[in-house]
Chains A and B, each alone.
Chain A
Amino acid sequence: MQGLGINVLFMGNNLPRLLEGLLITMKISLLAVALSIVLGTLLGMVMTLRNPVTRCLTKVYFEFNRIMPQLVMLFLVYFGLTKLFGINLSGQVSAVVVFTLWGTAEMGDLVRGALISIPKHQYESGAAIGMTKLQNYRYVIIPQTLRRLIPLAINLTTRMIKTTALIVLIGVVEVLKTGQQIIEANRYTVPTAALWIYGTIFFLYFFTCWPISILAGRLERKWQN
């Protein structure tokens, strides 16, 4: 007998399994996002240096990560490293590595952009009232940089979260893979399950990323000057 698609969701522990998958997705994305923010901030600061060597190196790194599809990067790290050097990273670790490499590049460029967008006059006005370089950064430059940066960084976070769906392809069992397993298991009894499961996954992603987007929009409006 063919069941109603929606029932599949509530059969056995399907829903908790999906949520568990979501947890893996979130774990990988948030870990990568946190690392990207720290490393990207450092990279962004280095990118503003006038030194031709650092300039060239960071540019190559940034362009490489921007142009290379994330999926290719995942395959390179997951399969390539094993083949070439015998380094055996688990799917989850590979995912964190790839998304951190990519996120660091994107974040670095955002930080660089925010830093150079502060006009020279702001540095001079701060200096002119007798602030040391450190005080100037602490009270004048960094607060303004953060205001420009945070909405952009939040948008990057949502992009990273949804792009982690790709890691299915290196065998990590996250939310999408769990969904596929449930669909497979019910292929004969409930052929319409796919629509319901994918629909549910859509909403899981949506409700994860939407609040973050709203937050970004709010901050942007609050801080526009």
Chain B
Amino acid sequence: MLKENEPLLEIRHLRKNYDANDVLNDISLDICKGEVVVVVGPSGCGKSTLLRCINGLEPIQSGEILLDGLPITDGKKKWSEIRQKIGMVFQSYDLFPHMTVLDNIILGPTKVQGRKREAAAKSAEKLLERIGLLDKKDAYPRQLSGGQKQRVAIVRALVMEPAIMLFDEVTAALDPEMVREVLDVMLELARSGSTMLIVTHEMQFAKAVANRVIFMDGGEIVESSSPEEFFLQPKTDRARRFLNIFNFEK
């Protein structure tokens, strides 16, 4: 078992480029167990790509990523195994449309982890109850609102009992009135001690949920500080300019 302050996820000198375009330029970042790290930055700064690299959805050019002290980017271990420990929720709340909510959630546990259907259904129902959607377990995704789908998508990742959860702008495609219900689920997760890496444009939420805020720009980590410090007294001009976008004055 890891102690509180030992890094669960270590990213070392990560580089990623599309052709001649540097998308991630020498990224190093440690995330400890139980820590909630929020990544913010302008569009195209590479924050989503960083998450996708951690989950093996994008190949990297150099550097390495370690989970639990073991390298996951050296090609020795299969991504299908690693991804069971790294849950990911996407911006496009893509449930599998041909399955009920319950079947969506237990697909991973039964087919990937080989758990019994009944046991998997039980933990799925427990999680559904926690997010207030137990009554929707036999509904199909098309019968749910965007916010409900995204909450189910979170449960679908959670049920695998991952060591860390990645959230890639999960509220960006939602109608404003549905953003809150999704963020509340994430806040609750953070309070219950989950390790989370969150990319978001919701600054108020970032302030409330984060232990640490990472500011990225141009494929680099420009700032890494506590939320209080970052939102009140950002160290760099670039961060100050970015934060000003969210301020309106009469």
Contact = CB atoms under 8 A, between A and B. Distances in A.
Given A121-B94, A128-B90, A135-B111, 10 more contacts: A125-B95, A127-B57, A128-B55, A129-B83, A129-B84, A129-B160, A130-B84, A131-B112, A139-B111, A225-B142
A128 B98 contact: no
Interface string B111-132: 1110000000000000000000
Contacts of B141: 225
A140 B80 CA distance: 15
A125 B111 contact: no
Interface in B143-193: 153, 156-157, 160
B88 interface: yes
17 contacts: A119-B94, A122-B94, A124-B90, A125-B96, A127-B57, A127-B79, A128-B57, A129-B107, A129-B112, A129-B157, A130-B81, A130-B112, A131-B111, A135-B112, A139-B111, A147-B98, A225-B141
A130 to B, nearest CB: 4
Interface residues of A, number: 20
Contacts of B57: 124, 127-128
B98 A225 contact: yes
A132 B113 CA distance: 12
Contacts of A147: 98
Contact of A128 (B83, B92, B95): B83
A130 B94 contact: no
A14 interface: no
B49 to A, nearest CB: 13
Interface in A134-170: 135, 139-140, 143-144, 147
A130 B160 contact: yes
B149 to A, nearest CB: 11
**Chain A interface, DSSP helix/strand/loop, else mixed:** helix
Nearest to B109: A129
Nearest to A136: B80
A128 B87 CA distance: 7
Interface string B77-108: 01111011001101010111110000000011
A130 B98 contact: no
B140 interface: yes
Given A121-B92, A124-B57, A225-B141, A130 B97 contact: no
The 5 closest A-B pairs by CB, nearest first: A129-B108, A130-B84, A121-B94, A225-B97, A130-B112
A130 B108 contact: yes
Interface of A: 119, 121-122, 124-132, 135, 139-140, 143-144, 147, 223, 225
B90 A125 contact: yes
A185 to B, nearest CB: 55
Contact of A143 (B84, B87, B98, B156): B98
Contacts of B78: 132
Nearest to A225: B97
Given A124-B57, A225-B140, A225-B141, A131 B94 contact: no
Contacts of A143: 98
Contact of B96 (A122, A127, A135, A223): A122
Contacts of A223: 98
A132 B80 contact: yes
Contact of B90 (A121, A131, A139, A144): A121
Nearest to A138: B111
A125 B84 CA distance: 12
B5 to A, nearest CB: 28
A59 to B, nearest CB: 27
A140 B88 CA distance: 17
A87 to B, nearest CB: 46
B8 to A, nearest CB: 18
A194 to B, nearest CB: 50
Contacts of A129: 83-84, 87, 107-108, 112, 156-157, 160
Contact of B80 (A119, A122, A124, A131): A131
A57 to B, nearest CB: 29
A128 B142 contact: no
A140 B108 contact: no
Contacts of B88: 128
A135 to B, nearest CB: 6
